Amino acid sequence: MPGVIMDDANTGGLRHGPGNHDSRNELSCSAGEVTRLNGITDSQNSSLSLDGEDGSFGQHRVGTSSIYRMSRGLNEPPELPRIMQGFFPFSKLVTRSVQQCWNDLSDLIAELAEVQIHSHESNSLPISTSGKSPGNQSSENIRKKIRTLEFSHAKRAEFIKLLVLSQWSRQAADVSKLIDIQNFIRTRHQAYAGALQCIGDMKRDLVQAQVANPDLKTALEVLSKGKVASMSDLGYTPPKPLKARGTLKRLQRINRLIGVRLAVREEIPSLFRTYRIHDGRVTFIVPGEFELDLSIGEEDESSQFFFVDIHFLFLPSPPVPKGRILNELEITINDVLQSSGLIGCFNLLHGFVLTNKVNILFKQAIELARGPWTDVLRVELLHRTLVIQYWTLKPGAKSWLEIGIKRGCRRSNNESSELPSLGLRWIRDGEEVTCEDIDFDEEYLSMECLLRSTIALHVSQILSSAYISIRHSSLFSTGLLSLRAQLNRTEPGDCLLDVQLTKTRYIRVFIEPMSGMSILSATPSALERFDGDRNPDKSFVDDIVARVARLRCNAAIEEIESNLKMLGFEPLNSRAWKFDVRRIFPPNILRFTFFWHRLWEPNWAVAATSSMDGDSWWVIQFGPTVLAKSHAILDASVHSQSFFRSTQVVSHTFFPAMQHKINYTSLAALGHCLPGILTIHSNARYLEDLQSIKFYPPLHKLKIESDLQVPDIFIRYDTSNLPNAFQLAMPVRAKRRTHIKDTIRLAFNGIDPRKKVAIMVAYGNLVSPASAFGAPISNLDRSLVFQAKGSGFAIRLLAPAGQSIIINLIESLQKLECLLSILESLQRKKIGVRAFSLSSISFTYGQQRNFSASLNIDLSMSLSHVDLSPVELASRPESIFNLRLSIRFDHSSPHRRIQESLASSLNHVSTETGLENVVKLLSLTLPLMRALDQLMTNPSYNEPLKVQVTARNAKKYQIYYPDEKIRFQLVATSHLNRMVWILNDVNGQRNGVVHDNIKTNIQGTLYNSKGDGWRGLGNGVVAEIGSIGNLLREIEKCFAISQGQPGQKSTDGAAKIGKLNSLTPSVPLGEHGHIEGIEYPHHDLLATVPNNRSAQSKANTATQNEDIIMID
């Protein structure tokens, strides 16, 4: 009785307590004696006392009992077995009960402390009749009191139970002894019952060993007389022994009787119609089942056939057992032949064979389930139906094969009745399907072959479904990637699916026949990294297709990443962006990655995406929030709804379709193509945002060509349709006719190896051939080139990949327009152009074209590229371009002194100025400039300043003599429809200090006289354009005479002046220039020698002659 609670005094002690009596030794102890001994009990090793006294009495009893045991010797019965299981000390129960009570009391106090009790005024409570206050009678207080009372009652009940157990435990020794006795009695009872059972089994087994007593009396009679008189004699005459001939005749007669009987009388089943009569028997042959030998016992046609022998025609088939089983089979067949004839015999044996076949297949299935197909095959035989479930470990819908006997599935040729046969029922993934294709050989029974054929068809169905699903993808339907399925009806291991992932990677899919798990054989890196997650909710075919698609896309992205890293591209970690990047791509995209290059603009990148429909390149433009930060695409903190400004697919393949193998050539082409398409897209995007310049093809049609060629953009260039911000106000006064045809082709031409920027080339055609301008292009300008024979031209533009060059293109085209207009104007003026570029034109002038100059075209913008938003530019009213022309003369050209004045004339807003006016000024001022150049000759750089000439503009000059303080103004004006020079005296009242002799000399020599090509006007002088040198020489003579120096005419006076002042003689000026077909007469001018040393400090010593003339 487990669970008895005992005190510590009795725990582990013997069960010989108070009141034990040994009848054999007549030793007994009463219960009262035990009580008087304070409950002392003996133990096996020592005695324990409940009240703490020693165990001397118990030791005395043990010693007495030992004396009696020794006297009895070995005849003493064994002690009762003791049962100690489930006993524990009573003190432990008390300790645990007290601890539990304390814990519950603590919880109760904490629970009651949480209850809030509302206080009430004492005077508001009614006073009872006894005069005592009722206290707080709120519901919360009452609930606390009830809870305390319930706790007290519950704990009181528990301790009452402990009291009862304490009282009962004092008698635990007697109860334990009773338990030991009951256990002993139960053991003896079981031994008696076992002995009876053993005797009964022995008696039953001896029945088979019984042998009858020998009949000695009959044995002696047989041995002595040779017969037994008690046995009756039937009176048969023994047949004569047959000879071979007689035996043959009888067998032939039996054959004839059987043949006639089968042909005439017997109703033969359809499957028994194949028979053979021989050796006095007929052998019926049922293909795939059995051969049955029957014979007759009488000549009577109504007599039955008798069973002779049977052989099974299928393998493996059990041998026909000899002895009792064969006898029973023979009796059964003969009974059926007697009652039902051949039809009943066939039905019996046919059903017997079918059942035997099912049992044979069942045994083979059991062997498979216990052998190599362990845990993956479940076999069950239900009556005569064998159920084999395969792929038991595969999740999802189950598949099994049922083999049983079907009624009405085998029809005879001549009868309408249908015969039973072995049939198959195939449940594939929970749905019944046809089983006609299953290879089931009923003659050679093989459960493994049948199972493999079923699984092979199942695997073929799965792989063919996966093949069809994958074949629908664009990559495989168009033949870009290969897909091959190999199917087999009998062997599942030969069924496989070969899928090409990329140009260099392949994968093979096959299904393990036993477990049904799909296995993908590919490169280890692809499988180890990307084939871990599977969705159990998908069907098996969808799971295979999804895994293949995932591996294909991962392999494609991994391959393109490794290739682009070699080209210097940097993959971007899109997971760090606080933006769902998948939303910008179609839902069929399974894998993607972003690439950026350090030479690109930070707001542009390319993306490679992969799906079962193809691998694509995308051009990605980040929004303005990203553009505001340097390299912000690498910053994970960027988050905005306008994170991506535009996304456009530019190619549906990573490499050309005809490229069967990736090599360095294709990688180099890809490295050239990606920055090219990005640059083209950035310019097309700029044009699309501008909306005022037409271009073709549209943005969505800009695709990478099949051979990785970057497409071109065709721009409609029409200056009249340009936005106001792009209109260029040309200072050249020329007819604004268009020199460039309206179609410009913008093409990407690679990366500059030194500047690491993209090279964009704009191809166009001129209205007139380039040879019509008759000047070569400068070798220093590599940004412009013309077609040698034809009207084509090309402009080279440089910009980082991703930065638009549309503004630079429009700037260059308008500069080219300005350049061609200037060339046309110079060509009309018959000025020889030596070379030109987009920024300058070098030309020569003069009669012998011995003077050279260059016309520079400077175009600046009021805003930087960063501030130029196409949307803002489209609505900007003023132009952002500022065109300024400047002219620079060679050091030997006399016009170098007034080049700023001429440049001002080039850029003047007045219609009277312009290039044609400057050309006229060159011819107008050339004699004057040459005369002044000769006048200002100072070879020694130490001669004093004598005269100062200030050019107000190209037509107005002031001549000042510092020593005499006399000023003249020389102005070019029109007189009688021709240009002349007018010399005026501008001294006025302020020149009162002028000497009278100088004034008188000037009045007489210049104002009131005339000379070669000039004449006085009373208060001034008018001179022809080509004779201005003669007038200046006369002024020099006047000042020389006024200073008391003997002036002479012609060159003699000049020689004397040079002698008196120790100056070098004058040098003849030479021939005058020839411009616009005008020829001037030849004159020799004398250079005026400067003699004012005080004014020399004011001279500018930068060049030889520029220290004399000043331009304000």
Mean pLDDT over 461-489 rounds to 91
Mean pLDDT over 998-1006 rounds to 82
Q: Phi and psi of 945, rounded to 5°? A: -75, 125
Q: Enter the tokens of residue 56.
A: 């001397």
**Residue 277 pLDDT more than 90?**
yes
Tell me the C-alpha to C-alpha distance, in Å, between residue 743 and each of 717, 719, 967.
Answer: 6, 12, 59
Percent of the chain clearing pLDDT 70 (strictly above): 76
How far is residue 852 CA from its own chain's centroid?
66
Using one digit for the tens of pLDDT, what is the confidence trace for 220-270? 988 998 888 877 777 778 888 888 988 999 999 999 999 999 988 888 888
Question: Which of 732-736, 762-766, 844-848 has the highest average model confidence (pLDDT)?
Answer: 762-766
Lowest mean pLDDT among 64-73, 637-646, 703-712: 64-73
b/e per residue 792-807 (b: at least 16 CB within 10 A): bbbbbbebbbbbbbbb
Using one digit for the tens of pLDDT, what is the confidence trace for 102-139? 999 999 999 988 888 766 544 455 555 555 666 777 88
The reported pLDDT for the residue numbered 941 is 55
**Residue 363 pLDDT more than 90?**
yes
Residue 731: cis peptide before it, omega within 30 degrees of 0: no
Q: pLDDT: is 571 or 866 the higher one?
A: 571
Question: Which is nearest to 549 in space by CA: 611, 623, 637?
Answer: 611
Kindly write down the DSSP assignment for every residue of 808-872, as one continuous string.
HHHHHHHHHHHHHHHHHHHHHTTPEEEEE-SSEEEEEESTT--EEEEEEEEEEESS-STT--HHH
1071: Cα within 13 Å, side-chain hemisphere: 11
Confidence of residue 1106 (pLDDT cuts 50, 70, 90): very low
As beta bridge partners, residue 35 has none
**Residue 600 pLDDT more than 80?**
yes
The reported pLDDT for the residue numbered 130 is 55
Residues 6+ away with beta carbon under 8 Å from 485: 463, 464, 467, 496, 497, 498
Lowest mean pLDDT among 149-158, 474-483, 730-739, 785-794: 730-739
Cα distance between residue 529 and residue 292, in whole Å: 66
The reported pLDDT for the residue numbered 857 is 85
Q: Enter the tokens of residue 634.
A: 């690498």
Kindly write down the DSSP assignment for every residue of 931-990, as one continuous string.
HHHHHT--TTS-SPP--EEEEEETTEEEEEETTTTEEEEEEEEESSSSEEEEEEE--GGG
Using one digit for the tens of pLDDT, what is the confidence trace for 794-837? 999 999 998 899 988 988 898 888 888 888 888 888 888 888 88
Q: pLDDT: is 1049 or 665 the higher one?
A: 665
Confidence of residue 530 (pLDDT cuts 50, 70, 90): low
The reported pLDDT for the residue numbered 988 is 66
The reported pLDDT for the residue numbered 1056 is 32
Question: Which is nearest to 955 in space by CA: 930, 988, 979?
Answer: 979
The reported pLDDT for the residue numbered 636 is 44
Q: Which pTM value belongs to this model?
A: 0.61
Residue 977 CB: number of other CB atoms within 10 A?
A: 5
Across the chain, what does the average pLDDT equal?
A: 78
Phi/psi zone of residue 924: left (φ > 0), alpha (ψ -120 to 50 degrees), beta? alpha
- Of how many residues is the chain composed? 1112
Confidence of residue 53 (pLDDT cuts 50, 70, 90): very low
Using one digit for the tens of pLDDT, what is the confidence trace for 22-36? 433 333 333 333 333
Residues 6+ away with beta carbon under 8 Å from 831: 843, 844, 845, 919
DSSP state of 693: S
Question: Which is nearest to 274 in space by CA: 298, 292, 249?
Answer: 292
- The answer to whether the beta carbons of residues 600 and 800 sit under 8 Å apart is yes
At residue 1096, what is the residue type? Answer: Q
Q: Could you identify the residue written with the tokens 């095959």? A: 377
Lowest mean pLDDT among 290-294, 644-648, 805-809: 644-648
Cα distance between residue 946 and residue 939, in whole Å: 14
Confidence of residue 938 (pLDDT cuts 50, 70, 90): low
Helix (H) or strand (E) holding 356: helix 324-370
Lowest mean pLDDT among 44-48, 333-337, 376-380, 892-896: 44-48
Q: Enter the tokens of residue 659.
A: 């490229």
Question: Which of 416-425, 473-482, 937-946, 1059-1068 has the highest average model confidence (pLDDT)?
Answer: 473-482
Confidence of residue 789 (pLDDT cuts 50, 70, 90): confident
The reported pLDDT for the residue numbered 457 is 95
Confidence of residue 648 (pLDDT cuts 50, 70, 90): confident
As beta bridge partners, residue 836 has 777, 841
Q: Locate all alpha helices (DSSP H) within 996-1027, ordered by sequence.
A: 996-1002
Cα distance between residue 158 and residue 596, in whole Å: 80
- Per-domain boundaries in the chain: 1-114+140-192, 244-350, 354-447, 551-691, 699-890, 900-1111
Residue 697 CB: number of other CB atoms within 10 A?
A: 13
Cα distance between residue 794 and residue 1012, in whole Å: 55
Q: Phi and psi of 1060, rounded to 5°? A: -65, -35
**Residue 391 pLDDT more than 50?**
yes
Strands of 305-312's sheet, edge to edge? 275-278, 281-286, 290-296, 305-312
Tell me the C-alpha to C-alpha distance, in Å, between residue 436 and each of 115, 310, 465.
Answer: 80, 31, 19
Using one digit for the tens of pLDDT, what is the confidence trace for 178-235? 888 999 999 999 999 999 999 999 999 888 888 888 888 888 988 998 888 877 777 7
Q: pLDDT: is 792 or 89 the higher one?
A: 792
Q: Residue 11, class by beta-carbon neighbours within 10 Å (0-12 exposed, 13-18 middle, 19+ buried)?
A: middle
Cα distance between residue 654 and residue 706, in whole Å: 10
As beta bridge partners, residue 142 has none
The reported pLDDT for the residue numbered 146 is 93
The reported pLDDT for the residue numbered 417 is 52
Confidence of residue 608 (pLDDT cuts 50, 70, 90): very high
Cα distance between residue 7 and residue 50, in whole Å: 9
The reported pLDDT for the residue numbered 567 is 87
Residues 6+ away with beta carbon under 8 Å from 733: 911, 913, 914, 915, 916, 917
The reported pLDDT for the residue numbered 624 is 65
The reported pLDDT for the residue numbered 609 is 92
Q: Phi and psi of 425, rounded to 5°? A: -135, 120
